[in-house]
Amino acid sequence: MKIAIITETFLPSTDGIVTRLTACISWLLDQGHEVRIYAPDLGVYEYKGAKVIGLSHITFPFYRSKQFAVPHPVVKKHLKEYKPDVVHVVNPAVVGYAGIKYARQLNLPLVASYHTNLAQYMDYYKLGSLKWLMWWHFRRMHNQADINLCTSQTVKDELVSRNFERMHLWKRGVNTEQFSPDKYSESMRRRLTGGQPEKTLLLYVGRLAAEKEIEKVRHVLEESDTFVLAIVGDGPHRQALEEHFKGTNTIFTGFMHGEELAETFATSDVFVFPSTTETLGLVIMEAMASGLPLVAAQSGPTREQIEDGKTGLLYEPDVEGDFTRTVLRFEDELLRKKMADQAHQDVQSFSWNQVAEQIEAIYEQAVSGEKPAESKEELSGS
């Protein structure tokens, strides 16, 4: 197949969407498919032999650290020249609008996938009054696709309740060879703990944005001097966070990739994930594969990955102070180790190959007009 992927984010950006895409693209290329990627022009023009078409981009005043490709008619020109068998629009928002529009105009089979709860983010940027408009915009775009995908059953249920049509669950995966407890590094531990390797190391990995609610971790550091914190990533909220955590045992590393990131996961003691707005959170899987117990919010997508009291602890986001109380339970080293072992075991059956095989089947079904079969997760509602 000739596959066109039009995405709002791609390399060198690093997030769960890019992780999923690069894993699937690598597998599809190995199977002999031709893939072309259309994304904001950030200086990457090839990925493992797949051509990356850089598109002119803009930034939004409330989110200046991220570039969004504009919905330019050049997208139609590219699609007409490439003549793909199927178009996949990833997280349609800005350039995705052009992808949806021109794929329909050219009568090309169309798959769209939903990854980010942008409407929910509006509250964090004091734009809550626009949530209805965001939902209208995303529903209008997705409902033009032949097949729609999302990454958790909880999100699928919400989108169906909001009248999104032809929704299906796209499985989750993790690279269990890259992320492993075996990647533990003494030198990395000294770096991440600020020279206090005997302390319990809390880890956050992800985009530094207001909706991630990372500020909550400071209360833990104030309540107990047994913890130190490493914050890995970058984003529009970094400066505010550095100010917020001033005077605490907190290290900001910026972006990490590859083996360095794998060492960081394996070297830490507890993964903290305060956010309540996630549609999945692939870093949860990476932490579990690395042998880390987790603290995350009670929400549908996290409950699909973390078994409370077994692989991690879930806190009640609506209960004042519950995040801090929950993290403090991990002062107990035996509890940490018990959950770390179980977390590692629970993700060993997941692989990116399974995720890529599913998307290949989805593309084939879009081309043939066949309705995708429901996954076991969809049938069970879990």
pLDDT, tens digit (0-9, with 9 covering 90-100), for 126-154: 677 778 998 999 999 999 999 999 999 99
One-letter amino acid at 215 equals: E
One-letter amino acid at 183 equals: K
Q: Which of 163-177, 207-221, 364-378 has the lowest mean pLDDT?
A: 364-378
Cβ burial of 126 (10 Å; 0-12, 13-18, 19+) is: exposed
Q: How confident is the model at residue 379 (pLDDT cuts 50, 70, 90)?
A: very low
Percent of all residues in the chain with a pLDDT value above 70, rounded to a whole number: 92
Q: Which of 109, 99, 104, 100 is nearest to 39 (CA)?
A: 99
Angle at the Cα of 287 (from 90 to 65), degrees rounded to 5? 45
Q: Which of 283, 343, 306, 350 is nearest to 18 (CA)?
A: 283
pLDDT digits (tens, 9 = 90+) for 78-115: 999 999 999 999 999 899 999 999 999 999 999 999 99
For residue 375, the 8-state DSSP code is P
Q: Which of 42-46, 165-169, 234-238, 363-367 has the lowest mean pLDDT?
A: 234-238
CA distances from 310 to 143, 293, 382 (A): 39, 9, 17
More confident residue, 381 or 130: 130
Whether the Cβ atoms of residue 249 and residue 120 lie closer than 8 Å to each other: no
Q: Is the pTM of this model over 0.75?
A: yes
One-letter amino acid at 180 equals: S
Q: How confident is the model at residue 382 (pLDDT cuts 50, 70, 90)?
A: very low
Measured distance CA(382)–CA(380) in Å, rounded? 5
Whether the Cβ atoms of residue 285 and residue 157 lie closer than 8 Å to each other: no
**Interhelix angle 333-346/282-289, nearest 10 degrees:** 110
Contacts of 266 (CB under 8 A, 6+ apart): 179, 180, 181, 182, 183, 184, 185, 290, 291
Q: Which of 245, 211, 213, 212 is nearest to 229 (CA)?
A: 245
Residue 381's pLDDT is what? 44
364 φψ region: left (φ > 0), alpha (ψ -120 to 50), beta (else): alpha
Whether the Cβ atoms of residue 292 and residue 271 lie closer than 8 Å to each other: yes
pLDDT digits (tens, 9 = 90+) for 161-171: 999 999 999 99
Based on C-alpha coordinates, what's the Rg of the chain?
Answer: 21
What is the CB neighbour count within 10 angstroms for residue 125? 16
Cβ burial of 307 (10 Å; 0-12, 13-18, 19+) is: middle
pLDDT digits (tens, 9 = 90+) for 24-80: 999 999 999 999 999 999 999 999 999 999 998 666 554 555 666 777 899 999 999
For 188-253, give the DSSP string. Answer: HHHHHTTS-TTSEEEEEES---GGG-GGGHHHHHHH-TTEEEEEE---TTHHHHHHHTTTSSEEEE
Residue 300's pLDDT is what? 86
Over 50: is that where the pLDDT of 121 sits?
Answer: yes
Residue 40's pLDDT is what? 93
pLDDT digits (tens, 9 = 90+) for 313-350: 999 999 999 999 999 999 999 999 999 999 999 999 99
Measured distance CA(186)–CA(177) in Å, rounded? 20
All domains in the chain, ordered by first residue: 2-173+351-380 (3.40.50.2000), 181-346 (3.40.50.2000)
Whether the Cβ atoms of residue 290 and residue 346 lie closer than 8 Å to each other: no
Residue 98's pLDDT is what? 95
More confident residue, 360 or 236: 360
What is the CB neighbour count within 10 angstroms for residue 232? 22
